[in-house]
Every structure is written in structure tokens, then in C-alpha cells.
Structure 1
Amino acid sequence: MELSQKRMRKQLERMKPLITGCSMELARKGQDALGALLSRSYHKEVRVEEVCFPGFPACRIVPRDQSPVGRMLYLHGGGYVCGDLEYAKGFGSVLSAVTGAEVLCPAYRLAPEHPFPAGLEDSFSAYEFLLEQEGPVVLCGESAGGGMIYALCFLAKEKGLPLPAGLIGISPWTDLTASGSSYEENRERDPSMTRERLDLFASCYTECRDNPLVSPLFGDLTGFPPSLLFVGGDEIMLDDSRRLHEKLLSCGCASTLEIAPELWHAYVLYCLKERRTDLDRIAAFCHSCFCGENNFQIPRKKA
């Protein structure tokens, strides 16, 4: 499934007023439908197996016609309030198909029914499950899930567990205090997200928005594994990625940031035909992590 950037942007702009004012129930249904659409597009290339965890469902996605080349943990987005297992299967299927990896997708508990730290605890349980097997693990997440992969690293360091081999953040939500200037500068340009909507999601999730386990931007990132970050140039959350990238570098960590001009929040999940190389970059990054390499350089488009 490939969509054009121009056509998708127009659709998002038309839907933005409806999404901003819709109920939590409707928002959840809409997001889950997007995941189902993605998984149907890749169902012939992967195989999905249910995995049982105490308290939350999950699935394991593997390439249909080859042995997995590595293992990934994918944490879905949705502002910590949206996203079920069907949604997680969507981009999880894309990741498995393009990387050749086994992808574990937990449907962690959601706020407001289960506020912080419930979702993080579930995600950490899934990470511990992967650590029981041999070999490196790469974490990937978009939006809230993108922030949670960094929070998960804080927990791993605290508990003395191995850190992942690499981190892939797609428009990661790393600052729930919304202190970046892009929240105002891109308010009119962003075709899909509003600050008010994010504030609602944050209030459902936690009362302590500057906790590093909630807003990883405010934690010590020293010793973190290599990061590959994607963010839309027009999204209000641009500074969440930009400032994270700068802090990773200042802490001595390897980080590559791809700012896509005129694109929106979590644009990678839309599999736009103009951005085919983004999935290639994710695959190349994963393979470098699985092989134990730490000198990954992001491939650039040919002029």
C-alpha cells in the first residue's frame, strides 16, 4: 500500500477538526482501523503468532519465507491512550517484512484506565522476555511508543539489564511538558496534531510530566545505544526529536536524525511512495545492530 504525500496531507487536514473533537472511544476505533489496513497490506509476507503475557496481549510477527535475522520490540503510539493489538500488528508487520526480523508487539495497558507506569511495566516485561533469548534486540516505537523505548532503557540501566542494540524513534514523544518552540511555531502547519489533544493525552497518562520515565528528554542518556530518529518538519512535536538528538550527541551517544520537510507526525507509518527509502534506512540500521556494528551511517538519497 503506497499513498502520495500530497493526497494524504489533504486527507489529514480535512480530518483534523474531527479528530481534535472526537471522543476517546472514536479515536481508539480510528487508530485501530489504520493498523488493520497496514497489516492487511503485508499479510502475505509475514506470519503472526499470539503470545500470552500476564495482564496484556501480544503477538510475534516473523517473515513467512525465511528465518528471522534478528529480534525487535515494537511499541506502538497513540498518546498512551489509543492502540490495541490489531493496531500494533500493522506497523509490526511492516517492520518484519522490510527487516526480516522477528518483531514482538505488546498491546500494553492504556490510560486513563491504566495510567503511568502500567504501560511501561508491560513493555518492560516484553523486553525481558526477548532478553531470555540470545542475540541483540532493537527497539522501535512511534509517538508515545517512541518515547517509551527510551524510558525502557532507563529501567534496564536501573535494573542492571543489557541495553538494546539500537533504538528507532519515529516522531518520538519525549517531552510531555511541551516545552519545545515547535509546539507554537508549527501549530498552523501541522496537518494532524494539536497541542490541546496532546495535553489531554498527557493528563490521562500522568500528573508528573517531567519525570524522565514519562519525558525521556529530561533524563541522563549517557551510555544509550545508537539511535535512528525520523520526524516530520511540519509537526508540532518536531523539537521532541530535535532536542533528543542533540542531547544524545552531547551525552556521547550515536544518533542520526532525519527531518522530512513538509511532513507530519509519524509519517513513516503511512508508507508514502515519496519516502520509500525510509524503510530501507530502518532495515539497514537494524542489520548493522544485529551484526554488532556501531558505525551505521544513514544512506542518503541520490541527487
Structure 2
Amino acid sequence: MTKDRPIPTEPGILAFHKRCQDFYPADAVDASIQQQRAWYDALCAEFDAPSPEGLTRQDEAVGGRIPVRRYQPAEIATQTRIFYIHGGGFVVGSLDSHDAICAEIARAAKAELVSIDYRLAPEHVWPAAFDDCFEVLRWLLADGRPLVVAGDSAGGNLAAGMVLKAKAEAINGIVGQVLIYPGLGGDLVSGSYEEMAEAPGLTSADVAYYRDVLKASADNVFAHPLKAADFSGLPPAYITAAHFDPLRDDAALYAQRLIAAGVNVTYRDEPQMIHAWLRARHMSEGARDGFGRLCRGVSELVGTL
């Protein structure tokens, strides 16, 4: 670890970061949106993985306009479904970018999983992505089956916001929330935002940029879940953070506030991980272990463990 730029020491995660740099440079936020998406697509393809045996996919459109992908693993052991919301700073990402991750989570949890291709900024600013996700949430809950809402990074933000809005509107059926290195509206200047301001994979300046692009009101608790006043009555949570990530304290503070409100929470600070470590699960020992713990956490929430 250096004084100015804290970095992990695990060889696998360092090799992962090096491969990421080759596809998605650290200054990518200064490029055009089209270029950022091209880099991101190339990055995701680089870390693709074989599909689990027997798993099937079905693409459809909710309300005739919101693309979703349904994953059916070879073995389904629960009626509870998983609603997965991808990350990408609200600017990049798609059904394909997180396809392998969704497939492996569905297989591990022995549960049907549905992912969403929500509208992206800057073409569609707040609340477009949130509205898309909430429409799909209502669609999934309409048949009475329980639901676990999950997401990574920007998707973790959307997942937490979905759960808060569902509570505010007395919508039942969400039995768990899974937040993976989520951005939840921290202050950008203290704690991990200061300590990990130049962390590999994501900087505090990157986070500020993505917030600016999204254009969500600073006092909107659904966009900034840490600003919520009441966390009581929310569903149990599995929250995992990357230690070398400016978003680390968002996850930790959210877990603390849920616990203080009486919510059952499992919290993990993955000690050698950087932002987006899910993609490193097949090349980093720490990411492999973290992903295994994540899958067990999801399995407990859907009732298959």
C-alpha cells in the first residue's frame, strides 16, 4: 500500500485490474459516452464465462418497452425469484454485460433470476432508470411470488431505492435485498471517499461524474438511500463492499443503519477487492471467495440454503 494510492496486494486482483486497464482506461470518464460504452462492452466480453449446464434464457419486454432476461437454472428449488439490476454508473451496461454473473448466481441459488436493461444516462436522466426498475419490480410481484432484489454498484443503488419505495408505498413481497459495492449517496469528501479517492478501478472523481450525469436531486432518498430517515421494516440484506473502493463506507454505513433499525444484515468488507471485483471471480482467489459468499447469501435469502 502506498501513501497516496492504496492498492491491494493479491496477485489475482492486480492482474484483473491490469486487464481492465487495457480495455477501459482510468480516464475513460473524459471520453464520449459512445466510447465509454464501447470500452465497457469490450471489457465485459473479456471476462465472459461458459453458461452453466442446463440453464436457459428467455428475453422479453415488460410493458412492451423494457427489455428483461429470464434465467432458469437446471435445478430450481424455490418459488422466490431474484431481480438483478446491473451496474455501470447509470451510463453503461446491458443485459449482456452481466449475463454470465446472473447465470452463475441463478445456478448457485437454484432460483429463477430476471435481469433488466434499464434506460441509461445521459440520454435518460433521473428518474428514468429508477422508473424502469420499479415497473419491472411491480410486474414481478404481481403474481404473488416472493422476490429478492439485487444489484451491483449503480444497480445496488437502484436496488436499495426500490426497496425503500416499496416500503413507502406498502408494496409487499420483497423478502431480501442484495447490495454489491453499492453507491448510496455518501458525501464524496470523507471516510473511504477520501482514503480511497484514487483507488484502482473507481475513483471518487468517477463517482462524482456519474452522479452529475444522472442529475438526481440531492434530497431524493430513493436516489440517495443513505439519506432515508427510517430503515425499520426493511427486508433482510446481504451487503458486500470492496475494501479498496471509495464506495466502501456507503455499504458499511447502510449496513449499520439497517442493523440499528432491527433489520437482519450480513455485511462483508472484501479485504483485497477493488470495485467491480465480481468480474474477477474466475482469476482472483479473493474474488472467488467473495462470490461464493455472495451466492450463499443470496441462497439464504431465497430459501435454498
Letter in 2 for 1:133: D
Show the counterpart of 2:15.
7
Question: CA separation in 1, counterparts of 2:130 and 2:295?
Answer: 26
Question: CA separation in 1, counterparts of 2:260 and 2:139?
Answer: 32
Question: CA separation in 2, counterparts of 1:213 and 1:236?
Answer: 20
Question: CA separation in 2, counterparts of 1:182 and 1:205?
Answer: 22
Question: CA separation in 1, counterparts of 2:173 and 2:144?
Answer: 13
- The answer for unaligned runs of 5 or more in structure 1 is 294-303
Question: CA separation in 2, counterparts of 1:112 and 1:266?
Answer: 21
Check whether the contact 1:157–1:163 (CA below 8 A) recurs between aligned residues. Answer: no
1:215 aligns with 2:227: no
Check whether the contact 1:35–1:90 (CA below 8 A) recurs between aligned residues. Answer: no
The percent identity for this pair of structures is 25
- The answer for unaligned runs of 5 or more in structure 2 is 1-10
Show the counterpart of 1:123.
133
The 3-state SS of whatever aligns with 1:261 is strand
Q: 1:284 to 1:228 in 2, by over 3 A?
A: same
The 3-state SS of whatever aligns with 1:73 is strand
The correspondence for 1:280, drawn from 292, 295, 298, is: 292
Cα distance per residue 1:158-196 (max 9 Å; x no partner): 2221152111111001016425421111123x1111222
Between 152-161 and 74-83, the greater mean CA deviation after superposition: 152-161
Q: 1:38 to 1:66 in 2, by over 3 A?
A: farther
Show the counterpart of 1:161.
171
Question: CA separation in 1, counterparts of 2:209 and 2:27?
Answer: 15
TM-score (norm 1): 0.86
1:113 aligns with 2:114: no
The 3-state SS of whatever aligns with 1:201 is helix
Question: CA separation in 1, counterparts of 2:142 and 2:47?
Answer: 30
Question: CA separation in 1, counterparts of 2:297 and 2:203?
Answer: 31
Show the counterpart of 2:35.
26
The correspondence for 2:50, drawn from 34, 41, 60, is: 41
Question: CA separation in 2, counterparts of 1:23 and 1:262?
Answer: 31
Check whether the contact 2:201–2:276 (CA below 8 A) recurs between aligned residues. Answer: no
Within a 5 Å distance, the mapping from 1:230-245 to structure 2 comes to 230-245=240-255
Question: CA separation in 2, counterparts of 1:39 and 1:125?
Answer: 29
Question: CA separation in 1, counterparts of 2:90 and 2:27?
Answer: 20
Question: CA separation in 2, counterparts of 1:45 and 1:196?
Answer: 42
Between 284-293 and 146-155, the greater mean CA deviation after superposition: 284-293
Cα distance per residue 1:212-247 (max 9 Å; x no partner): 111101112211111111111111111111111111
1:199 aligns with 2:199: no
Q: 1:256 to 1:157 in 2, by over 3 A?
A: same
Check whether the contact 1:176–1:209 (CA below 8 A) recurs between aligned residues. Answer: no
Letter in 1 for 2:35: L
Show the counterpart of 2:68.
58
Show the counterpart of 2:8.
none
Shift of 1:98: 1.9
Shift of 1:22: 2.8
Cα distance per residue 1:120-151 (max 9 Å; x no partner): 11111111122123432111100011011111
1:289 aligns with 2:298: no
CA RMSD in angstroms comes to 2.4
The 3-state SS of whatever aligns with 2:151 is strand
Shift of 1:111: 1.3
Check whether the contact 1:72–1:101 (CA below 8 A) recurs between aligned residues. Answer: yes
Shift of 1:152: 0.4
Show the counterpart of 1:299.
none
Cα distance per residue 1:232-277 (max 9 Å; x no partner): 1111111111111111112111112111123211313321441323
Q: 1:37 to 1:62 in 2, by over 3 A?
A: farther
Higher relative contact order (CA closer than 8 Å, sequence separation 6+):
2
Check whether the contact 1:88–1:106 (CA below 8 A) recurs between aligned residues. Answer: no
1:92 aligns with 2:102: yes
Q: 1:37 to 1:73 in 2, by over 3 A?
A: farther
Show the counterpart of 2:263.
253
Moved over 6 A (4+): none
Q: 1:194 to 1:145 in 2, by over 3 A?
A: same
Show the counterpart of 2:6.
none
